[in-house]
Amino acid sequence: MNHFQYKDGELYAEDVALSAIAAAVGTPFYCYSTATLERHYRVFADAMQKDALVAFSVKANGNLAVLKTLASLGAGADVVSGGELKRALAAGIPGEKIVFSGVGKTKAEMAAALKAGIYQFNVESEVELLALDEVAGAVGVTAPVAFRVNPDVDAKTHAKISTGGAETKFGIPWSHVHAAYATAAKLKHIAIVGVDVHIGSQITDLAPFETAFTRVVELVGELRAKGHAISRIDLGGGLGVPYRNDNLPPPDPAAYGALASRITKDTGARLIMEPGRLIAANAGLLVACVIYVKQGEKKQFLIVDAAMNDLIRPALYDAWHEIVAVAEPKPDTAWTRYDIVGPVCETSDIFAADRPLPVLKSDDRIAILSAGAYGATMSSAYNARPLAAEVLVKGGEWAVIRPRMDDDALFGNDRIPAWLG
C-alpha cells in the first residue's frame, strides 16, 4: 500500500496535490510519502523478532530526511561506504545500530566506523579482515565482525542484482568459511560476533531465502562447535516489491519474518535484517513534464524532462515502472501508446516502450511510480543535467529535502588550469 491516490481529478501525495508541488519547484522532482515510509517500516519490523535490528539499507535512499524519518521509528542503518556512514550518523542513527557492509572498505572508512562505535562489520574477504585488525589496533579498540558468507544460492533474480552465487564478488566462498573464522580467532583486535548472508535484491520467492538461511544456521552450529561465539545472524535484505499492477505480489513481510524465525529459533542468536527497497520503493515517485509528443514512422514518442540520469533503473536493469498521468483520466478520455523517453543523448534513455497512457500533450505531467528506492541515489548529472529536486510530504505539508542542483554545484568545482588563461 502507498499513499499516492487520485483526488479531485489529480494525483496526490497524501493530502498534497503533485501539481502544486510541480508549480513551486518545477520538474522533474522526486516525491516521498512519510506515511508510506512509516507504514512499510512498521509492517516489516512488526514481522520480525522483538529484539531484531532492522537496519535500513542506506544505498536504497540516503536522503537525510528519509533516514531521519526511519530513525525516529527505531531503524538502524546498513551502510556500504564512509559517506553512507556519515549520512546515517547525521540523520541521528546511533553507531550501535549501524552495520557496515561492502567488499571494498578502505582503512580510512574502517577507522571512521570504529570511532563511531558501529554495531558490526560484515567482512567480505580475508584480506579485508587483516586490514581491519590493523586499523582497530591503531585506533585502540576491538572490531566486532561477522563474515559475509556466500552460500552459492541462486536467487532467481536479475543477474546484475544477484549476489549469492559462487562467482560473484561478494562474500567468503563457502569452502573458505571455516578457515576465515579460524584466522579471525587468532587476531588480537577482532571479535567474532556473527554470520552474515545476503543473496540478492528484488527476490519474490521465499524458497531461495529458505535455502540460504538453512545453510547459515547449519554453519552457525559448526562454528560454535569449534569454539566461535556466534551471537548474531545477519540475514541481509532483498525482499522484493511489486513494480507492476498485474504482478503477483511478492511474499509479505509476515511470511518472510515467520520463515526467518522458524529457521533460526533454536540458535538463540539476535537477527539483523537489512531491508531497503521494501521500505522505500513504493514510498516515492518521480514527476516529469511532457516536452514534446513526436510522431515516428510507426510509433509515438512521449519526450519528457526526466531522463536516465534521473532514474537509471530502466536503462540499467530493463526495470519496469508503472507510469501514470498526474491529471486523472476521465471515463471518456482517449488512450494511445507511447515510447516514453528522456532528452539524454543515448538510445537507452527510455522509461517504457509501447506503454498505454491517456492522450497527452506538451506541458502535461506524468508520474513514474515505485521510484523511492535506487532512484535519486543512483542519479547523476550526465549531459550536464542538474540533479532533480527531492520533496517529502507529511499529511498536508511538504518540504524540499534536496533542492535542484544549481550551476555552482553542477560545474562550480571545475578548475581551469593557468595555461588555458
**Residues annotated catalytic, as ranges:** 345
Which residue in 128, 119, 106 sits closest to 183, CA to CA? 128
Grid cell at residue 369 = 511510480
Number of H helices, E strands in the chain: 12, 21
What is the phi/psi pair of residue 303, to 5°? Answer: -95, 115
Q: What angle (nearest 5°) sits at the alpha carbon of residue 334, between those of residues 329 and 339?
A: 90
Residue 388 near residue 379 (C-beta atoms within 8 A): yes
HSE-up of 145 (CA within 13 Å, CB side)? 30
- Give the DSSP H/E element, type plus range, for residue 65: helix 64-71
- Return the residue matching grid coordinates 556466500: 150
Measured distance CA(399)–CA(217) in Å, rounded: 45
Measured distance CA(218)–CA(326) in Å, rounded: 51
Q: What is the amino acid identity at position 330?
A: K
**Residue 80 DSSP SS3:** coil
